[in-house]
Chains A and B, each alone.
Chain A
Amino acid sequence: MADNSATAHDTEAAPPTDSPAGVGIIVVSHSHRLAVAAVELAEQMVPDNPPPIRVAAGLDEETLGTDAAAVGSAIEELSGCSGILILVDLGSSILSAEMASEFVDPDLAARVRISPGPLVEGLVVAVVTASTGADLDAVAAQTADALAPKVQQINS
């Protein structure tokens, strides 16, 4: 499995598809601080080989809101990934993520998926699964089901 740590927070676009970088992850939230903290929490699980992660959250570091153009830029930064999974929080984050897919090349958009999974638990599962080199289908499926362990623990 390739070591992706070098690309985790690169501002440069990832390498072309002849050396695909596995699944990349984008966090879309109304709050920049919430997104950054969620990433910090998730990356604790994979200190040595975190997958490429981008944050598109808040109108700026203080102002709550989502920005479809920022999500579009994040998608383009991860264009070298074999697939991209977007984690969202509430309401307009979904609309912004959906709209962003229309701003990018259709071939790239076809490799983007928005997860119905919960933001925090989903992000942890997505980061861990992606770091194993799993493909987009596997990462998306695991992430969508990310609440299951919590539900099981509390209800058992």
Chain B
Amino acid sequence: MSDLSAQSVSTWLKDFAEVINEQANYLTDLDRQIGDADHGSNMSRGMSAVAALDPASFTDASGMLKKAGMTLVSTVGGASGPLYGTFFLRLGTTFTSDGELSAADLARGMKAGLDGIIARGKASPGDKTLVDTLTPAVAAAQQAADEGRSLAEALQAASKAADQGRDSTVDMIAKRGRASYLGERSKGHQDPGATSMALLIDSAARCLA
């Protein structure tokens, strides 16, 4: 099950699309409180387009991941398009060969994705963004890899850390995106992008192990 292929990537992305569609109203509600109330509908539109991609039309996981990234870039519409798009493009350029996915591979791919998101959005940890979910998740995956643990254990650790990272955004003051216009008033609200990113990592833990 830990084999990486266009098919396994497709399973993950379809699962994430399903979760996003289920949670779209919740994500949009979070965004209504500190943003422009479109995160759920934007992500839902983008992931529905990604879920429609046929894994059989790709020769490997890398091709599927890159196409997913480009699809998000063109269909999400908001800042999440370039940010999630960059994440998947970076995964696609990191996972260049199909076959067994190790905990170390996972950590390396996630780190490349995080670095891409930071370069694109210029956000730092503590800015109340999806970076606050992804940063501890990458660290947890890396630690699991360093300790020689399995891919499944690394994914579980990353998922738990991602959820904690998401929760940590509640007390933060937004420094990026629409929410930053609210300043102090953004405090007390969970960041919608940090929330959807935690859903992505949770989905990976379910599907890629």
Contacts and interface: CB of A to CB of B under 8 A. Distances in A.
Q: Do A and B belong to a common assembly?
A: yes
A31 to B, nearest CB: 11
Interface stretch (A7-15, A59-67, A121-129): A59-67
Interface stretch (B6-14, B75-83, B152-160): B75-83
Interface in A51-85: 59, 63-70
Interface residues of A, number: 16
Interface in A79-109: 91-92, 95-96, 98-99
A62 B82 CA distance: 20
A132 B144 CA distance: 61
Nearest to B70: A69
B82 A95 contact: yes
B74 A92 contact: no
Given A95-B82, A96-B81, A99-B86, A59 B73 contact: no
Contacts of A69: 70, 73-74
Contacts of A66: 77-78, 81
B62 interface: no
Given A95-B120, A99-B120, A63 B74 contact: no
A30 to B, nearest CB: 7
A68 B85 contact: yes
Contacts of B177: 91
Interface in B117-134: 120-121
A69 B86 CA distance: 12
A64 B78 CA distance: 9
Interface string B77-103: 111111101100000000000000000
B32 interface: no
Contact of A30 (B77, B83, B86): B77
A70 B75 CA distance: 11
A63 B78 CA distance: 11
Contact of B81 (A63, A65, A98): A65
Nearest to B81: A92
Interface in B42-96: 42, 70, 73-83, 85-86
A56 B27 CA distance: 27
Nearest to A90: B178
Given A92-B79, A99-B85, A99-B120, A68 B73 contact: yes
A33 to B, nearest CB: 15
Interface of B: 38, 42, 70, 73-83, 85-86, 120-121, 177-178
18 contacts: A59-B74, A63-B77, A66-B78, A66-B81, A67-B81, A68-B81, A68-B85, A69-B73, A91-B78, A91-B79, A92-B77, A92-B79, A92-B80, A95-B83, A95-B120, A95-B121, A96-B73, A99-B82
The 3 closest A-B pairs by CB, nearest first: A65-B77, A95-B82, A92-B79
Given A65-B78, A67-B81, 15 more contacts: A59-B77, A66-B77, A66-B78, A68-B74, A69-B73, A91-B78, A91-B79, A91-B177, A92-B82, A95-B79, A95-B81, A95-B121, A98-B120, A99-B73, A99-B86
Interface of A: 30, 59, 63-70, 91-92, 95-96, 98-99
